[in-house]
Structure 1
Amino acid sequence: MTKVPSMNLPGISADDSLMLLRAATELSFSSILVTDAQHRILYANPAFCATTGYSPDELEGQNPRILQGPLTDKSVIEKLRNDLDTTGHFTGSTFNYRKDGRPYLVEWTISPVMDESGKPRFYISVQKDITQLQAEQSTGNLFIKAIDAAYDGIFITTADGVIEFANQGFEIITGYRPAEVVGLKPSVLKSGEHDDAFYKDLWGHLTSGVPFRAMVVNRHKHGHKIHCQQTITPVKNALGEISHYISIIKDLSDRVFEELKLREQASHDGLTGLLNRRAGEIELDLSLLKAQENSSPFCILMADIDDFKAVNDTFGHNRGDDVIECVAGVLEKEIRKTDKAVRWGGEEFIVLLPFCGLEKATVIAESIRIALASQVFDEIGQVTLSIGVTESRNEDTPTSILDRVDQLLYDSKRGGKNRVTAA
């Protein structure tokens, strides 16, 4: 256990040692909080006040629980209490709330300072705001995938105009593979169609921090001209300085529209026209990201055709395909325009319902179940669906929410089929 330390540093007087230790605390980039044994705040350093928005006077005498809110993980707080009661030390992370109500993800440690009798006299907490780090780690790859899958050409340059990134859409439009243009300047696309006044206007916008939009004639790798709708947007760093430019180009030629049709076919199921599993996985990733960023949950339903193997075995795969197509039609008719229906595999379907609570999602699921059950197929008769429905949670990953809805679907099967189970 930590005892109250001596403030004497080797070769330095006690007063100077105390002054240096206090200066180190005041200048620290990490948030530091000191409480007494009853967890009343005695001291908060400037970094802590800057992070939370509270002044030292507002914090003094308060319990740190004033930083807790709806997203604060209760199990983490319970672990904190248990750890301090047993080992005296705690390390963890959860969401705290600033004075203005905005949440932030914090990682922190708590250590006791013991008195001569071995009892806690103070607690020292060292904290770090890891919101941005967590966002970068969890969404970086997702953003790259989403940008790379975009139909429009996207490329990013430094402030000096050197290309650092180009997506697959850029290759479709210009003919240049991303690896060919990274390190070059956008002038590689210059067609000679625009005069000096055009480029003066372009740079006048950009250096002022204003996006530039225009119809631009670029030159394809193979020499022909491509008429593009182009937007260039300056990106500023934390100091307000332009650090990058993001360019988006849209080729309006018939050739590109044919390319887009191929891309559309690649993301949709050939039998039903619904999104295929690969596209559905991307949509699920994006739904989770939006829900976490906007603190707005969504719902997911998973549906499976009851006794479908018997239909295939008895009536053949063609009749089975008829049933699958019919289910897809029911889904598209009963869901909202903003919802995403996915053929997840075989006779299994998923629907993503953004900005939708569990109660409303359950109503939609019931309408789907009833609509299919009310139909009678020649020779086959009635075909039904078992459906599971769940609402997203703050801590959800694609795997966790899929496992949960899959279990609810299984509960519907086990409960007699042709039913909806929601939780």
Structure 2
Amino acid sequence: MSTLFPAAEPPDLLYRQMFRTNPAVKLLLDPQTGIIVDANPAAAVFYGYPLEQLRGMKISAINVLPPEQIRERMAAAHSRRQQFFEFQHRLANGEIRDVHVFTGPVTVDGREYLHSIIFDISEQKRQHAQLEVYRDLFYNLPIGLYRNTPGADGRFIAVNPAMLEIFDAPSEAALFACRVADLYEEPANRQAISDELLAHGAIHRRELPLRTLSGRSIWVALTARRSQEPDGRVVFDGIVEDITTRKQAETLRDRLTHLLEASPDFVSITDAQQQVVYLNAAAREMVGDIPERLPEVIGQVHPEWAAQRICEEGISTALETGHWQGESAIRLRNGVDLPVSQLIVARRDRDGQLDCLSTIMRDLSEAKRQQAALAYLAGHDRLTGVMNRLRFDEELERHRDRGRPCLIMFDIDHFKQVNDRFGHAAGDRVLQKLAQVAQAQLRETDLLARWGGEEFMVLLPDRSLEVAAEIAERLRQTIADTDFDEVGTITCSFGVACRANDERQDNWLRRVDEALYRAKAAGRNCVQLAAPEREPCPALRHPAYDHA
């Protein structure tokens, strides 16, 4: 299509020059058809079409609006109802550009056209959109953003909503009203931060203790840089991250670590890959250097029976139920096996996957020694060290079905006279020595007990009545020949009874007691054998007492 201005008519010269030489993009449109009647060189450059092609194109080939909406806009412009529009225009390469269009009717050679001036605002729109993103970030980020002035009296001049939340501020005005230094636990630290920013230009994630407007103590990570306002003023732009929860967790972790390091218990933690990641001081002292992997650690640190129990019972139970507790043992660096009470705990993450296995082992050696001592005291006579009656009764019950055991029961003749003449302390020493003398005459399998007062009982497993009588006689003779210090010599009377098949225990005890009673009645210092009921009971008398 030819140009609308083929000749240089004097009245139109200025208009033509303004249309063609103006650097702004210009189009001349037929308002009825939407055809581009003319375009200036700037339009050809902007749209990427040759001028010859651009002239004669319909505006709908450039404007991305539907044709009916384009007609509506042209009608509004032609009637002067609207002369400013914002459109999107398509270039020859297909790129869509945002444009502002100023348009209005002009008359050329007696015909009316629309004279449009197009300004490319794509970059402006992009920058505006970016600013909106920045604005959205500024107001919606969960971390504090601010700008403040430097120095000891520096104040905030811009803050985002997160700053209000972090510092318990009811409003921006409240935060603007306070000095930045007032938020520091030590206000002098604010001056130091200000000086550092002025000198070096930036700080990165500096962890600081601060306080809020309500006086609450918090920890923050501060990142800031020195900046300059258009008027030349120096300001600080910064980011404040509230790390109070993390610092509290670190403090708790440090306290727990200190507690674990000070604990005398063995404490270790193993990760899900069976790597030992923590061993406290007590554990390191107990076992020294250990392998990195749990299976090797168990084999080195525990005796075989304990290692087997931990692997087969402890760990499997902890993985199934969350924890296991039981007795095991640690093999110390000196090779000694230390009995321990062990707790194994399995910790899982939110997805139910194993996070770690922790174990605590407490030394049971002293507890076991005390337990053994208490058990010994519970079953032994405190004065003489031999079994007491309660424990002896238990042993009798244990030997109920073990062959035909025999009992020897003996007591000291005229012991009351010993106490009356020499005192109870001397009498106690006699009982102690008597127990020692009697114990020395017995086998390890024979059991000696203090039955009560000056009475003693001996259990002889798997002994015949004749052998039991011989042992009783040997005891009687040995006691009679022993010097009991300040008391001199003493004698004892003995009763002997072997248990009959299926005999009740109380009947057996009654028979040996009756045998001792007969020994007393026979003049003391002798041995009497208990015979079955209704049978005569023979007596073994020392010759010196035949006529007592």
Return the TM-score normalized by structure 1. Answer: 0.41
- Flag the structure with larger Rg: 2
- Structure of greater relative contact order (alpha carbons < 8 Å, 6+ residues apart): 1
